[in-house]
Amino acid sequence: MDMMQDGERYTRMPYRRTGRSGLLLPAITLGLWQNFGGDRPIEAQRAIIRRAFDLGITHFDLANNYGPPYGSAEENFGR
């Protein structure tokens, strides 16, 4: 399946400066704790990420204990 980026994806999402670094982050972060485990279909996970990108979300919360099973959210995000 080919992906076509939404041309408006960076103009829809407000960005905020973070702390003293001045780093710009989107106002919304997508947490992948319960929706990216090994017990979820990979195509559904890809659809979530692609939709997030289209909406301007470019910051994702991952940790080595997200799953289930632990660590599978990081593995699946990289697939």
3 — pLDDT class (breaks 50, 70, 90) = low
Is 70 exceeded by the pLDDT of residue 16?
yes
| Domain span at 48 | 29-79
Question: How confident is the model over 6-17, as a mean pLDDT?
Answer: 81
> Measuring CA to CA, how many Å separate 34 from each of 5, 11, 29, 40, 41?
26, 28, 14, 9, 13
- Domains identified in the chain, total number: 1
Mean pLDDT of 3-29: 85
Q: Is residue 43 part of a domain?
A: yes
14 belongs to a structural domain: no
Residue 49 lies in a domain: yes
In a domain, 59, yes or no: yes
- pTM (2 decimals)? 0.77
Q: Higher model confidence: residue 2 or residue 35?
A: 35
> Cα–Cα distance between 56 and 58 in angstroms, integer?
6
- Going by their DSSP bridges, the two strands 60-61 and 15-18 should be labelled as unpaired
pLDDT at 34 over 80: yes
Q: Is residue 11 part of a domain?
A: no
